[in-house]
Amino acid sequence: MDLKELSRDESRGMTLIVKTISRLIMSFVILFGCFIIIYGHITPGGGFAGGIILTIAYVLLLLAFGGKVAMAKLSNFWASMWDNIGALSFVVIGFLGMTGGYFFLNFLDHGSPGHLVSAGMIPLCNIFIALKVGAALYAIFIGLSVYGRIVTEEEK
């Protein structure tokens, strides 16, 4: 089954009302998460909070449509890959600062205070932390909910 057939299957997930509202809400949650990540150096928020908000969007998808649809959108393998890419990129930014003398030295222009481009490399760090936190938390949620628990022979 492809993703379109999985999402329209009425035997999976919740009711049509919940699925319709989830489709609508999910886009706003992703948009809000991206806003928190990008403006995290100006307002309260940043990579950690934005990553958790992005995870909430995929958890909503998992709860409304079921595990197969969520796994078709973002599998456990790709969640792990994005987790590792976020961590590696964050460390690479730290080492790029060593070109100026020490770890995590701000090597980008500071810009004007109060504007979007005003914090040097901090927005980049927020993006990669959001990737790391969001993908790791989603992988943990998949591990705890979709795969279920192992049933031993004694319990059968």
The amino acid at residue 6 is: L
Residue indicated by tokens 């990540």: 37
Eight-class DSSP state of 100 = T
The CA-based diameter of the chain, rounded to the nearest angstrom, is 66
Could you tell me the pTM of the whole model?
Answer: 0.80
Residue 20, number of CB atoms within 10 A of its CB: 11
- What is the residue-level pLDDT of the chain in tens, covering all 156 positions? 565 665 566 666 678 888 889 889 999 999 999 999 988 888 888 899 999 999 999 889 888 888 778 888 888 888 889 999 999 999 999 888 888 778 888 877 777 776 667 777 888 889 999 999 999 999 888 888 766 656 556 655
